[in-house]
């Protein structure tokens, strides 16, 4: 690992030299003051040493005080490797009498930095003005977790917590069979995006706003409060993951665990701060508009999608059921849904409604089973000339559907998102694999093979 100071790489030897320079200032009597007791002078030295050692790892050289400075720097401590945190804690205790304001800032920074090696220095009090006219120093990390060799340590979500949260989501899916619900949650958080609005978060999109009651009460989001309740324990467990990332992580994981393609996801989405940032109602697609083709294009073109992507994304209806008490569409139950899994009831688009495949397009094309749902926005995929080209293709070629769906899903999940770091965080080690995976839960769906 190297440290970069003012865009210049500093070797381990040079770094040690900086430490020696800092500590010599103490040893040569920079803090000598006849009015102080020996104990107070020692405490002052400890404060200075702790600050120097910590700042060496995080701040540019221009941030260091001159060696003849008459008082220690009042900069909040970040967590320095090995010595830094322990020394900072001791310094904070020592400075509680000598420098109350600095001690409070130091203690606050220590309490947050110890939870994760990736915590951001800027989250500590009093830091923002120090960096006002300086570039943020970066740390080059050789680690395959990141999608570049040199990534900032400061970002919206913690990569390790994202990975752990994904495993917990898999367990949730295996026990609750909530794949369709989690897919819908991610879609509806992102699907409010408006490409014609430049300001964030007014543009909508994947920003975690769907966690607020005012947006959950939108008619198109009926029932999604249940998805939030399922995910909230995971959010509480992994506080280093934003809601915006959690919603999209859950959605992509549900597709993959249902046997669908691997989605080329990235993370690091920033959450909106409050319900005042929620979009107005009416940005999501409706099930039965007067002109289905025009409606789909109005909604999805506003988000930046084309006809191929509209059809590919529609294929996600291969998962799930429509419940009349929520959407006003579908039967109370069918032979495919009366026994669950999960809560029984509703009408599904496909026979095996927990398996992600291309059967949605096949079943809509055939329309031979009255127990399978076909909405006006489904039927139009085989009626509109442009949509039909892709719907026919996907009915015949599942591999082509998986490829196009994975790309469209990833695009949807990024709409309107503000990423920190800007390039996002990739938590998968290898390239995307669009081959379908076996899904055990699909055997619980009844009906024809």
CB distance 406 to 264 below 8 Å: yes
Q: Which of 425, 405, 81, 49 is nearest to 269 (CA)?
A: 425
User: Could you tell me the strand order of the sheet in which 2-5 lies?
Assistant: 8-10, 2-5, 139-140
How far apart, in whole angstroms, are the C-alpha atoms of residue 86 and residue 260?
48
**Helix-strand-coil percent breakdown of the chain, rounded to 5?**
50, 5, 45
Residue 360: both structure tokens together? 């949605």
Q: What's the distance, Cα to Cα, between the start and end of the chain in Å?
A: 55
Instruction: Give me the catalytic one of 188, 218, 295, 409.
Output: 188
CB distance 186 to 255 below 8 Å: no
Task: Please give the full DSSP string across 193-214, using - where no structure is assigned.
Answer: --TT--STTTT-SSSSGGGSHH
CB-neighbour burial class of residue 233 (10 A; exposed 0-12, middle 13-18, buried 19+): exposed
How far apart, in whole angstroms, are the C-alpha atoms of residue 77 and residue 63?
13
Task: Please give the full DSSP string across 305-342, using - where no structure is assigned.
Answer: --HHHHHHHHGGGGS-EE-HHHHS-S-S--TTTTT-SS
Residue 224: strand, helix, or coil: helix
How far apart, in whole angstroms, are the C-alpha atoms of residue 102 and residue 176?
49
Q: How far is CA 125 from CA 100, 107, 168, in A?
A: 14, 10, 33
Catalytic, 295? Answer no
Q: Which residues pair with 348 in a beta bridge?
A: 321
CB-neighbour burial class of residue 386 (10 A; exposed 0-12, middle 13-18, buried 19+): middle
Task: Please give the full DSSP string across 295-308, using - where no structure is assigned.
Answer: HHHHHHHHHT--HH
How far apart, in whole angstroms, are the C-alpha atoms of residue 84 and residue 89?
9
Catalytic residues: 188
């Amino acid at each position: 690992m190297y440290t970069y100071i003012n865009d210049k790489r500093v070797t381990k030897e040079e770094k040690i030299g900086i430490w020696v320079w800092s500590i010599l200032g103490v040893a040569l009597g920079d803090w000598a003051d006849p009015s102080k007791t020996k104990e107070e002078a020692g405490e002052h030295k400890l404060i200075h040493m702790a600050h120097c050692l910590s700042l060496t790892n995080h701040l540019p050289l221009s941030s260091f005080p001159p060696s003849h400075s008459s008082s220690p720097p009042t900069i909040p401590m970040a967590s320095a490797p090995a010595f830094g945190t322990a020394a900072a804690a001791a310094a904070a205790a020592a400075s509680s009498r000598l420098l109350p304001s600095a001690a409070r800032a130091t203690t606050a920074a220590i309490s947050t930095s110890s939870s994760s090696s990736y915590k951001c220095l800027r989250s500590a009090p009093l830091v923002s003005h120090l960096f006002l006219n300086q570039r943020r120093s970066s740390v080059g990390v050789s680690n395959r977790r990141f999608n570049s060799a040199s990534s900032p340590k400061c970002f919206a979500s913690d990569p390790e917590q994202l990975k752990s949260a994904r495993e917990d989501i898999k367990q949730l899916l295996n026990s609750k069979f909530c794949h369709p619900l989690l897919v819908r949650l991610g879609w509806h958080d992102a699907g409010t995006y408006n490409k014609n609005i430049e300001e964030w978060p007014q543009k909508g999109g994947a920003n975690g706003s769907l966690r607020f009651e005012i947006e959950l009460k939108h008619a198109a989001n009926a029932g999604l409060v249940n998805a939030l309740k399922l995910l909230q324990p995971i959010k509480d467990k992994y506080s280093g993951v934003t809601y915006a990332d959690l919603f999209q992580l859950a959605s992509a994981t549900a597709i993959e665990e249902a046997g669908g393609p691997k989605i080329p996801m990235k993370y690091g989405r920033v959450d909106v701060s409050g319900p005042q940032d929620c979009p107005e109602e009416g940005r999501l697609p409706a099930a039965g508009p007067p002109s289905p083709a025009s409606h789909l294009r109005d909604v999805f073109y506003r988000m930046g999608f084309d006809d191929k992507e509209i059809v590919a994304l529609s294929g996600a209806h291969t998962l799930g059921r429509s419940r009349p008490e929520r959407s006003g569409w579908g039967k109370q139950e069918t032979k495919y849904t009366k026994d669950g899994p999960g809560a029984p009831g509703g009408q599904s688009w496909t026979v095996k409604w927990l398996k992600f495949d291309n059967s949605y397009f096949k079943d809509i094309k055939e329309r031979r089973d009255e127990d399978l749902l076909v909405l006006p926005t489904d039927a139009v995929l085989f009626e509109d000339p442009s949509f039909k080209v892709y719907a026919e293709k996907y009915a015949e070629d599942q591999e082509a559907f998986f490829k196009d769906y994975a790309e469209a899903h990833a695009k949807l999940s990024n709409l309107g998102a503000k990423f920190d770091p800007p390039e996002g965080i990739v938590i998968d080690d290898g390239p995307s694999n669009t081959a379908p995976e076996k899904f055990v839960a699909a055997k619980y769906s009844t009906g024809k093979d």
